[in-house]
Amino acid sequence: MKRTWIGIALLVSFLLGACSADPTASMPEQTTTGMTKATTVDAVSSATLSRYRENEIQDYEGVRLDPAIGPSDNSISGVQRVDIRTYRLAVDGLVSKPLELTYDDVLKRTPVERLITLYCVTGWQATMLWRGVQLSEILDLATVNPEANTVIFHCVDGYTTSLPLAAIIDNKLIMAYQANGLPIPAEMGYPFIIVAEDKLGYKWARWVTRIELSADTNYEGYWESRGFDNEADID
């Protein structure tokens, strides 16, 4: 059954798109430390080079990094432009202390930096150096209730997706505000993107504006309700 849904997802994704990055990205390999890296390549196309922002890091410890701006936009409602002066990140649902955080509030938390590859359901990938905050640290601020087991991410454009709370904690997932040494661009989800490591790209929620704690393990987000596998594991 899972393979059937993945097949449907592949077809729909080619038509509508579920995530954005560079389809010319290099193939991944596993390092001895378990960190996913991309094979360094000698040649980079001019189209790819043109998408690097000024001062964007292009190489990290011998790894070619992919541009944070993809070749095209395939979000559900176009690139969102967030006014950071009025932006607030809500953390609510099954929590004891619902809260709202400003962009600066999040940046004051302990930073985490990791080299992680984004895998799109259509078969390509992009490796970037991500910097952000561990999601569990944000959740702890709101004091999660014992019955909560699912985290639902709501985005500015109405997009939603979810991840198991245990996966977020056990895998130390981060919410990123930088990619390749610079604030993530609007195309990648400024101000925040969920770096759902080891999950397919449609779990990487962009333009996150609300984090909801829930007990609904069967919650289906935008693409999941359209046939995409709710686990979204990378095989």
pLDDT attached to residue 89: 98
Does any domain span residue 235?
no
pLDDT attached to residue 19: 56
Q: Which residue type occupies 145?
A: N
Q: Tens of pLDDT along 72-115?
A: 777 999 999 999 999 999 999 999 999 999 999 999 999 999 99
What is the spatial distance between Cα 155 and Cα 121, in angstroms, rounded to a whole number? 20
Residue 100 domain boundaries: 2-226
Q: Tens of pLDDT along 112-147?
A: 999 999 998 877 789 999 999 999 999 999 999 999
pLDDT attached to residue 7: 45
Does any domain span residue 60?
yes
Domain count, the chain: 1
Does any domain span residue 232?
no
Kindly give the pairing relationship between strand 208-214 and strand 89-93: parallel
Does any domain span residue 63?
yes
CATH of the domain at 127: 3.90.420.10
Asked if omega into 191 is within 30° of 0 (cis), the reply is: yes
